[in-house]
Amino acid sequence: MSNELNRGNGVSPPPVSQVAQGGRISALLKQTKKLERLNTWFKIALNNMVRGLSMFDADQRLIVCNESYREMYGLPEELTRPGTPLADILSYHIKKETGRDGEEERTRQDQWLKNHAAKLASGNSFTRTQNLSGGRTFLVMYQPIAGGGWVDVQEDITEKRWAEEKVEWLARHDPLTGIANRFYFRESFEDALKIIVQGPAVVLHWIDLDRFKDVNDTLGHPVGDALLKAVAERLRSSVRKADFLARLGGDEFAIIQMGAGRREQCEHLARRVMHVLSKPFHILGHTVSLSASIGIVRAPEHGTTADELMKRADIALYDVKSSGRNGFAIFRSGTKHKPGLKHQLDRDLRSAVRNGQLKLHYQPIINLKTGHVSSCEALVRWEHPQHGTAMPDNFLPLAEQSGQMLEIGSWVLNEACRDAARWPDDLKVTVNLSSLQFQNGDLLNVVDKALADANIKPSRLELEIAEAALLSDGECMREVLPKLRERGIGTSLDDFGRASGSLSYLRNFPFDKIKIDRSYIRDQLDRKDRAAIVNAVTALARTLGIGTVAEGVETLGELKCVEIAGCDEVQGYYFSDAVPKGELMAVLSECEQKLWAAA
């Protein structure tokens, strides 16, 4: 029916061959469309890649590249068209990076292209790192393709690289001051020592700031930190490029001085360091004065290994510290001085103050006339993390020798006043002073500040000075004692009788009290001579208007004796040992009960 209709319309059907051709065209069209679509997808994919991509043919002409590639190298549009020679891209890039396109640049470029072709010829993929002038770093991976040419992929690794470098930098530097840390110092020192066998001398300056801790304590950590930065800066300006500066930790620095063949050269640097550090620092509105102690060793003269030299620099430093600081010392070969455990303890002690390992215990002093505890004596303890609790006789002499007594003394004063602020108003606090605190000349300020900070009346503080200190520092005492008295601060002559027992002290120095040494109190009942001395001292003190304290009272018998002799106050194990501050209040009433029971 339809055929007829068609025929009736006079339209004849197309020949078979024509039908086949039309089918091919539509298939081709379809395929082209498909390819176009694919091409579009491919372009979208390429241009959305974060990494740069480009493809070159065997003649080093661009086949295709993506947007990221163009952007990464900042290429103009005409250099990203297919067919662009790599050489054109390269010369554009070199000019952009260097600002030049002379003969030299062209030679470099030719060399690069030749090299590149040779690498591709191997057929293996390879990578290159490119450092661009703006500080960016690209990692480029080249993949040769069959029949010549290659594909390359560029990754911007600037951030990654920066992070890696930062981690590496932090491993070798002190973040506060920006100079080398202990680890990097050690590595560099060992490297320097490798070349000294026949070569020039290497000198190590071990620098320790004097009383840096005081700055931290009185002005606070931000000032301490800023001061360390300023110190590092001054040290940096005092060394030559060839020298190596490091912060070994805390307030310790080191300089490796290269090629200081003569002794004067290393002395010269040490003097310069002391000089630059001695000028006042202006830190966050404060003016801070510093000094430094420096221990010096020379290699190979004093050793050839880092360990040996560092130990000896430490010995030299210790020599400076124990002879009053603020100076330098070159290690003396054959010195008998062996710091060993002592020096170790000295170092530990410094960190003890910093790390809060010092604690105050208190021992009550009982007034026999009133029947009450009148004061508590602060006795310092060192809670050493390895050796347990150390008693003052075991570490204070060391502190005096190595120059840490002032720091400890100030800490004790402050802490004791703060503790007393929490006690009843009629209870005093008694603090022991070292003779070094008198010599320092700053004692009155330290005392005033401790009282003011704790907000307690001067009359609540009693200071004890050992009799032995009068022998060496009588003059200082004569000056300071009246000033303490003016302020209403009580003073006691401690350990009376242990050093000389000279009664003339009682007449010549204005003490409020005298503490009779415990060796006189012991065995009072059996040793009539001791009892006689106690009686004589008490009688003289009474006529001079000076109070008396018997220390080291261990038994009821001893208590009776000192009571009969007329002592005003007593202290000793019979009542209580020195106890941690948390236990003190309970102990106070126990002491008073014991006294009533003894009556």
Query: Which x/- pattern, by CB under 6 A, does the window 450-489 give for ligand C2E?
Result: --------------x-x-----------------------
Number of residues that bind Ca ion (CB under 5 A): 4
- Of these, 156, 495, 558, 568, which contacts Ca ion (CB under 5 A)? 495
379 binds, among Ca ion, ligand C2E, none (CB under 5 to 8 A by kind): ligand C2E
Backbone angles phi, psi at 378, to 5 degrees: -80, 125
| Residue 277 binds ligand C2E, judged by CB under 6 A | no
- Of these, 86, 204, 396, 446, which contacts ligand C2E (CB under 6 A)? 396
| Residue 569 binds Ca ion, judged by CB under 5 A | no
Q: Which amino acid is at 150?
A: W
407 binds, among Ca ion, ligand C2E, none (CB under 5 to 8 A by kind): none
403 binds, among ligand C2E, Ca ion, none (CB under 5 to 8 A by kind): none
Helices 306-322 + 340-354 axis angle, to 10: 70
- Of these, 494, 513, 530, 562, which contacts ligand C2E (CB under 6 A)? 494
Contact call for residues 52 and 154 (beta carbons, < 8 A): yes
| Residue 552 binds ligand C2E, judged by CB under 6 A | yes
- Of these, 238, 414, 434, 538, which contacts ligand C2E (CB under 6 A)? 434
Which is it for the CA torsion 293, 298, 301, 304, positive or negative? positive
| Residue 490 binds ligand C2E, judged by CB under 6 A | no
Question: 254 or 365, CB closer to ligand C2E?
Answer: 365
Question: Which listed range, 17-25, 55-63, 269-277, 430-438, lies at the site for ligand C2E (CB under 6 A)?
Answer: 430-438
Q: Whole-number minimum distance, CB 495 to Ca ion, in Å?
A: 4
Number of residues that bind ligand C2E (CB under 6 A): 25
Question: Which listed range, 45-53, 189-197, 374-382, 536-544, lies at the site for ligand C2E (CB under 6 A)?
Answer: 374-382
Question: 186 or 384, CB closer to ligand C2E?
Answer: 384
* SS3 (DSSP) at 282: strand
**Cβ of 22: how many Cβ atoms within 10 Å?**
11
| Residue 467 binds Ca ion, judged by CB under 5 A | no
Residues 306-365 that bind ligand C2E (CB under 6 A): 363
Question: Partners of 253 in the beta sheet?
Answer: 207, 247
| Residue 380 binds ligand C2E, judged by CB under 6 A | yes
Q: At 289, list the tokens.
A: 């004065």
d(CA 110, CA 130): 17
CB burial of residue 280 (10 Å; 0-12, 13-18, 19+): exposed
Q: Whole-number minimum distance, CB 438 to ligand C2E, in Å?
A: 11
Helices 212-219 + 221-238 axis angle, to 10: 140
Question: Partners of 214 in the beta sheet?
Answer: none
Question: 228 or 433, CB closer to Ca ion?
Answer: 433
| Residue 494 binds Ca ion, judged by CB under 5 A | yes
Residues 141-200 that bind ligand C2E (CB under 6 A): none
Contact call for residues 495 and 517 (beta carbons, < 8 A): yes
| Residue 524 binds ligand C2E, judged by CB under 6 A | no
Question: 77 or 393, CB closer to ligand C2E?
Answer: 393
C-beta nearest to ligand C2E: residue: 572
DSSP 369-408: TT-SEEEEEEEEEEEETTTEEEPHHHHHHHHHHTT-HHHH
| Residue 392 binds ligand C2E, judged by CB under 6 A | yes
322 binds, among ligand C2E, Ca ion, none (CB under 5 to 8 A by kind): none
Q: Whole-number minimum distance, CB 242 to Ca ion, in Å?
A: 55
Q: Which of 591, 565, 567, 563 is nearest to 578 (CA)?
A: 591
d(CA 474, CA 478): 6
* SS3 (DSSP) at 325: coil
**Cβ of 176: how many Cβ atoms within 10 Å?**
13
Contact call for residues 526 and 561 (beta carbons, < 8 A): no
d(CA 465, CA 435): 7
CA distances from 277 to 58, 70, 236, 257, 267 (A): 67, 55, 12, 18, 15
Question: 243 or 495, CB closer to Ca ion?
Answer: 495
Q: Whole-number minimum distance, CB 419 to ligand C2E, in Å?
A: 12
552 binds, among ligand C2E, Ca ion, none (CB under 5 to 8 A by kind): ligand C2E
Residues 399-418 that bind ligand C2E (CB under 6 A): 409, 412
Q: Which amino acid is at 410?
A: S
Question: Which listed range, 125-133, 284-292, 312-320, 430-438, lies at the site for Ca ion (CB under 5 A)?
Answer: 430-438
Question: Which listed range, 173-181, 224-232, 301-309, 546-554, lies at the site for ligand C2E (CB under 6 A)?
Answer: 546-554
DSSP 305: S
Given phi > 0 = left and psi -120 to 50 = alpha, else beta, which region is 87?
alpha
Residue listed under structure tokens 């200190």: 469
d(CA 100, CA 595): 99
Query: Which x/- pattern, by CB under 5 A, does the window 431-450 give for Ca ion?
Result: -x------------------
Contact call for residues 411 and 396 (beta carbons, < 8 A): no
Given phi > 0 = left and psi -120 to 50 = alpha, else beta, which region is 135?
left
| Residue 462 binds Ca ion, judged by CB under 5 A | no
Which residues bind to ligand C2E, rule: CB under 6 A?
A: 363, 378-380, 391-393, 396, 409, 412, 432-434, 464, 466, 494-495, 518, 551-554, 572-573, 578
Which residues bind to Ca ion, rule: CB under 5 A?
A: 432, 464, 494-495
